[in-house]
Copies of this chain bind each other. A is one copy, B any other.
């Protein structure tokens, strides 16, 4: 969970299973989500008796000699639990800064803290993880033994990773300090 920052929240809205992407931060067995006060997804998740949050990281494409055994290397967590609105002001502020810190470590120190008005303009949802399952695939392709005799098809793993590009500074306002570490 701590290697990612986007999750997919699943909940029932008017009887319709719905999945939406959102940012999160983990604090022990709690995951914090946030949005506008009227955010329909968060409100529906809070109103439901159960919700689900999935996080998936893709680490590589697994190319087998056979089309059948193609696969993906990944790390995935699916967590079930219940959601509720955070109404305590201190917990709300801590959760919001935790989300910022989760996406860009150290960033709460490198930005203006939220004002009381900004905190009031944000809904924080507390998702208590009650049960979770993790699935991980690593390594090379599975193959049928006979396929190992084939010589016309390349087989192996294409690693995938996410990289940061060159920072694009905001051109408005006063001159910016250097990009923080």
- Using a CB–CB cutoff of 8 Å, the interface residues on chain A facing chain B are 6, 8-12, 15-21, 23, 48, 50-54, 56, 58, 60-61, 63-68, 70, 72, 74, 76, 78, 80, 96-97, 100, 103-104, 107-108, 110-115, 118, 121-122, 140-141, 143, 147-180
Contacts and interface: CB of A to CB of B under 8 A. Distances in A.
A115 B67 CA distance: 10
15 contacts: A8-B54, A18-B52, A19-B19, A63-B107, A65-B111, A68-B118, A70-B100, A110-B154, A112-B147, A140-B171, A148-B173, A149-B174, A154-B167, A155-B176, A156-B176
B175 A168 contact: no
A167 B174 contact: no
Interface of A, secondary structure class, is mixed
A66 B112 CA distance: 4
A64 to B, nearest CB: 7
Contacts of A67: 96-97, 100, 107-108, 111-114
B165 A179 contact: no
B154 A68 contact: no
A139 to B, nearest CB: 10
A81 to B, nearest CB: 11
